[in-house]
Amino acid sequence: MTAYVTRRLLTGVLILVLLSMVVFLVFNALPADPAALTCGKSCNPQVIAANRIRLGLDQPLYLQYWEFVRAIFVGRTYGSGSATFECSAPCLGYSFRKGEEVTPLILKALPVTLWLSMGAFILWLVPGVLLGIYASRRRGRWQEKVTLGAALVGYSFPSFFIGLLFLFFIVIRWQLLPYPNYVSPFEDPVQFLQTMILPWLTLALVFMAFYVRLTRNQLLETYSEDYIRTARAKGLSEGTVIRKHALRAGLTPIVTAAGLDLAGLLGGAIIIESIFSLPGVGKLAISAVVDADLAVITATVLLAGTFIVIANIVVDLLYAVIDPRVRLT
């Protein structure tokens, strides 16, 4: 087990290194020139050249990459003359567009995305799985049809549509909630909940539908297995059969999907954060892309990649916990 985890972690680090290299290469191949984007009205070839030096883009790509990696471990000095300043380790770079070090930018945005993702995750997973169980137990009846139909409706609408509907009707037109204005739950729990409830619901509606159908399908498939028939023949209650036998076996694909969905959200729920003005990683990433802000783009891509890598490892570990037949080697 320890060897397995160590091996997976090392592989994950290698993936992240490769990912960072790809980001640098792709960014360099883009037609957008960050030096031109930040040079203002007096933009001429001389100013662009000076900006390129200021942004460090005059260096060969491998040197730029080396400086980036080095700064993570030992920090970096920016500026010139008496106006230099230190970006202390772990330095993920400096955003000249935003005028801030990238590491604090990420650290400020991450809690927002964590709260958004975890809240939505609970809201979609628990009802989604329960409704999936319910639908599987009502197979062929109107309850199953209603449940699946409702799930299909939720699944059919894109998140930006549901989010905008919530925003325009619940916040702007009916004014049942104030306009989203994120604060930490430790600072003002009421305002936090007022801000987060609609983003949570929006994500939950979209994702929950998938889990209703997935759970229902997995359970129906499991119900036909011999060991379920045996369990019932032994006189076990239906609840016990579902909880201890059917659900456990059917959980594996649900855990896989949930892990990756959660990791994707943690990497940045771009649309939802934009609609509800949540200053999370997704919003940070999209503004960085618009501004061709390499330092922030690299950091957000690495963050998203880290979550995916970790989620994959955790999912694999959970397999062994859920299903004794799985052995980690």
Partner 1 sequence: MKMTPKRRLSLVAVVASGALILAGCGGSDSGSDAGAGSSDGGTAGGTINILTLEEQILHLDPQRNYTGVDLAFMTGFMQRTLTAYKFAEGAEGVTIVPDMATDLGTPNEDATSWAFTIRDGVTFEDGTVVGCADVKYGVSRTFAQDIITDGPTYAISLLDIPKAEDGSSVYKGPYVTEGNDIAAFDQAITCSEDNKTITFNLGRPAGDFNYTVTLTAFSPVPAAADTGEGYDNAPVSTGPYKISEYTKGQKMVLVRNENWNRESDDYRPAYPDQIVVQFALDPSAIDQRLIADAGEDQTGVTFAGLTPESLATVFAAEDPRFTERSVDGFDPYVRYYTINSAKVPNKLHRQAIVVALNRAELLTIAGGDFAGTIGDGMIKPNLATDYAESGMWTDLFGAAVPDTGDAELAKKLIADSGEPMPAITFDYPQTPTNDKGAASVQASLAAAGIKVTLNPIEAGQYYGVVLDPEQQNELNSAGWGPDWQNASTVIPELFGANGGFNLSQVDDAEFEARVQTALGTVDRTAQADQWKELNKFAMEQAWAVPTRFGKVQYLWGSKVGNAFLWDAYGSLPFGDLYVMQ
Binding region for partner 1 (CB under 8 A): 31-33, 36-48, 50-51, 53-54, 78-85, 96, 98-100, 108-109, 167-168, 172-173, 175, 178-179, 181-182, 274-275, 277, 279, 283-284, 287, 292
Q: Of 68 and 182, which has the nearer Cβ to partner 1?
A: 182
Q: Of 5 and 165, which has the nearer Cβ to partner 1?
A: 165
Q: Of 167 and 313, which has the nearer Cβ to partner 1?
A: 167
Q: Of 40 and 140, which has the nearer Cβ to partner 1?
A: 40
Q: Minimum CB separation from partner 1 for residue 28, in Å?
A: 15
Burial (0-12, 13-18, 19+ Cβ within 10 Å), 155 = middle
Retrieve residue 126's tokens: 């628990």
Q: How far is CA 108 from the centre of its chain?
A: 16
Distance CA 302, CA 246 (A): 38
Q: What is the DSSP string of 107-132?
A: HHHHHHHHHHHHHHHHHHHHHHHHHH
Distance CA 20, CA 73 (A): 15
Q: Minimum CB separation from partner 1 for residue 189, in Å?
A: 18
Q: Of 37 and 314, which has the nearer Cβ to partner 1?
A: 37
Cis peptide, bond prior to residue 34, ω within 30 of zero: no
Q: Of 87 and 241, which has the nearer Cβ to partner 1?
A: 87
Q: Minimum CB separation from partner 1 for residue 276, in Å?
A: 9
Q: Are 254 and 246 contacting, i.e. CB atoms less than 8 angstroms apart? A: no
Q: Minimum CB separation from partner 1 for residue 34, in Å?
A: 9
Smallest Cα–Cα separation from 113: which of 315, 279, 280, 249? 280
Q: Minimum CB separation from partner 1 for residue 41, in Å?
A: 4
- Cβ-proximal residues to 315 (8 Å cutoff; 6+ apart), any chain: 255, 256, 259, 260
Q: Are 265 and 273 contacting, i.e. CB atoms less than 8 angstroms apart? A: no
Q: Of 156 and 175, which has the nearer Cβ to partner 1?
A: 175
Q: Are 101 and 94 contacting, i.e. CB atoms less than 8 angstroms apart? A: yes
Q: Minimum CB separation from partner 1 for residue 161, in Å?
A: 13
Q: Minimum CB separation from partner 1 for residue 181, in Å?
A: 7
Retrieve residue 223's tokens: 């119900």
Other Cβ atoms closer than 10 A to 269: 26
